[in-house]
Amino acid sequence: MRHATVTGRLFEPIGWALGRLLAVLEAGAFWAAATFPVLHAPAGLLYVRESISTSVLVGLALLHAIAIVVGHRYNCEGVAADA
């Protein structure tokens, strides 16, 4: 007769919590990536007027790229594939 091990079930809540945290981060990154283009036009205009520096403009573009990479898997299991 085999006995159930406690160690296998001990880390289940930690795995669940990490999974939920990852889902929240992906969702936030997805929506940040979706809304960043709204900021690019005003930032470009402020750059032309020399109100912001090049590093701020490049930083905004880098944040947008990071948000795209982190959030690209958001809700992928809920989307039906086109046949």
Entry field: residues in the chain: 83
Residue 83 pLDDT > 60: no
How far is 73 from 16, CA to CA, in rounded Å? 18
pTM exceeds cut of 0.85: no
Beta strands in the chain (DSSP E): none
Cα separations in angstroms, 38 against 34, 43, 74, 82: 8, 9, 20, 29
Q: How far apart are CA 60 and CA 47, in angstroms?
A: 12
Average pLDDT (4-29) is 80
How far apart, in whole angstroms, are the C-alpha atoms of residue 2 and residue 21? 34
Q: Stretch 15-22: mean pLDDT, rounded?
A: 86
